[in-house]
Structure 1
Amino acid sequence: MMFPYYLQGDDEVHGEFPFTLKIHHLDTHIPAHVHQFIEFTYVIQGSGVEIIDGVSKELVPGTFSLLFPHQVHEIGIEPGEELFLYVGAIGLKAFFGGDTLFDLHRLLRGAEFDSNTTYRLDEETAAEVKRLFEQMYAEYQEEQPWNREMFIAKLVQVFVLFNRFRQRHLAPDDANLKAVALSKGMREIISYVYLHFKEDITLEMLAKKFNYSVSYISATFKQLAGENYYSILERIRIAHACNLLVSTSLKITDVAYEAGFKSYSTFARVFQSRMNMSPTMYRKNKGIAL
């Protein structure tokens, strides 16, 4: 099964059980893209290179990646090489749902703004994660009583193992700063931005809606992401525009407004700055026939 250039997401991601898990076989380059869901991958066999927001990481067996909606990523496969990996998706509603037992965002809080979300797991952790993925895949494929509950329980185990590994590789001060920031209401704000990025969501509007000061929200985004709030919002909007350019035949002016920009001129300027090419050239390079 070939990985498509753009994943709108299977219907399940937006349905009653917003989770998927599949095995993908890649043997060609996957162009830059994003998703409107959380994606996690685990390499089973083969090799490749994953580029997330311009940072390259080697993909080999035992590599685990966690990808968020604001992250533009692509996968490079050398001629003659192949890559087999588990690819899972979590709908945003499930991720931010706040379930007291399966609060996935609480478990992974802060990871969405890590400079690196691709990890080469140690041998022991990789073996345990692989075993869990095998069991999850079986539960996802078969219709058995309580298979959904078993799937989620094992998914939580995977993320616990990942989070423990991640915490061991974070600088202590960085980890503590992120934990404190996200414990002060930022999870709700981040969730809102992910889900409403097309709207005119200013810092002033967020401050009023969530009862925090503008300076607090601004400083916390800077602390978490190393960028200011409007830069993060631009990143999410441009990522969505990239999706639309390669997956639809919308006019480029319509793409600009659909991605949340108020004017085409602003969109064109920001796109050129972030992608080092015009929207027209980006669409042409990705092979869209209009």
Structure 2
Amino acid sequence: MTVVPVYLTHYPNMDTELPFHIQINHLKRDFGSHRHDFLEFSYVIEGRGFEIINGVQHPMEPGTFTLVMPYQFHSIHSEKEHPLRLYNCNFGIHLYNSTEQLPGSVERLGERELLPYVQVPCEEQEQFQAILKELYAEYQGEQIWRHALIKVKLTEILVRFDRLRRSSQLVDSVSEAVKTEGRERGRANGDIWKAIQFVHEHYREDVTLSGLAQRFGFSVPYLSELFKKTIGQNFVSFVHEVRIRQACGLLIATEMTVLDIALETGYGSYNTFTRIFKESKGITPAIFRKQNKLQLTDQR
């Protein structure tokens, strides 16, 4: 029987001012194939196993750092005798606003000819673990400048990962099939990430498929198909998803009226916003705000 990969749509703190979550997981059994629209990295502390990303398998052992880009299918398999213990971190593509992009931008992190993982050398593992320990502690705390320091530490770990994989011989060992695919689809891959990132930055505006196609030099039908292949949904649904996610954060973190939030997230009318919000979340914006405000109060 064919197993359909799960599409994960949520992680803790996703709809908040800081769309970021990090935890330490103990995998005593496999985590089946799934995908999601946010970024995820993992770092193995102990144990052994392997991970499959878009059909390509790589080993997991102490020191393995993996970055999974949005919409990639992946699964983790843990050895029963040596179960994996690892950091797992999820964060939204919009965690950094347009003036403070992820280093080198998202499309650079997801370059097709680069492997999505690296085996950190023994002499550098202590440094990686120190950064992750600080990142984890900052996330657990409530000190002033918490959000800023989390972004700094996240940026540092991603920069070190990307530098390491680019300077290592792993890049040269990528299979010829992957290299060929990368050469053939390199431009499309880079530009679709630019288009996705553009939507995340300009969701307040009247973003259209034809406008994006013109901006990035694609035909409308081709860009439409590229969206479906990359993210598994059509362009209009994707724009609504981005806007509603931003609206959720504003409903929880601010006292803005629902109408103001509708306008702030690119909707021209209150009725359109509430209809699409209810279709997405199953409840009205007002009820969503009330429920999540109560949860925040209970947590405190």
1:188 aligns with 2:201: no
TM-superposed deviation, 1:232? 6.4
1:151 maps to what in 2? 150
Residues 76-133 of structure 1: per-residue CA shift (max 9 Å, x gap): 12333311111111112215x2233xx2163554232435202111223322111100
Give 3-state SS (helix, strand or coil) of 1:93's partner.
coil
Give 3-state SS (helix, strand or coil) of 1:94's partner.
coil
TM-superposed deviation, 1:237? 0.8
For 2:224 and 2:48, locate their aligned partners in 1 and report how far apart those are by CA, in whole Å. Answer: 36
1:242-261 equivalences under 5 Å are none
Give the 3 Å change call, closer, same or farther, for CA 107–128 of structure 1 in structure 2. Answer: farther
TM-superposed deviation, 1:43? 0.6
Give the 3 Å change call, closer, same or farther, for CA 194–119 of structure 1 in structure 2. Answer: farther
| AA matched with 1:98 | S
Give 3-state SS (helix, strand or coil) of 2:232's partner.
helix
For 1:229 and 1:119, locate their aligned partners in 2 and report how far apart those are by CA, in whole Å. Answer: 33
For 2:52 and 2:200, locate their aligned partners in 1 and report how far apart those are by CA, in whole Å. Answer: 21
Alignment match of 2:217 (pick from 213, 217, 220): 213
Percent of residue pairs bearing the same amino acid type: 29
Give the 3 Å change call, closer, same or farther, for CA 67–229 of structure 1 in structure 2. Answer: farther
1:66 maps to what in 2? 67
My pick for the range that moved more, 149-158 or 65-74, is 149-158
For 2:39 and 2:28, locate their aligned partners in 1 and report how far apart those are by CA, in whole Å. Answer: 23
For 2:106 and 2:167, locate their aligned partners in 1 and report how far apart those are by CA, in whole Å. Answer: 14
Bigger radius of gyration among the two: 2
What is the TM-score with the length of structure 1 in the denominator? 0.61
2:110 maps to what in 1? 112
Give the 3 Å change call, closer, same or farther, for CA 205–57 of structure 1 in structure 2. Answer: same
1:18 aligns with 2:16: no
Residues 20-70 of structure 1: per-residue CA shift (max 9 Å, x gap): 111111010111001121111111110111000110110101111111122
1:42 maps to what in 2? 43
Runs of 4+ in 1 over 6 A off after TM superposition: 193-196
Report if aligned partners of 1:45, 1:84 keep a CA contact under 8 Å in 2.
Answer: yes
Q: Which runs of 5+ in 1 are unaligned?
A: 219-227, 241-257, 259-290
What is the TM-score with the length of structure 2 in the denominator? 0.60
TM-superposed deviation, 1:187? 4.8
RMSD of aligned residue pairs (Cα, Å): 3.7
| AA matched with 2:60 | L
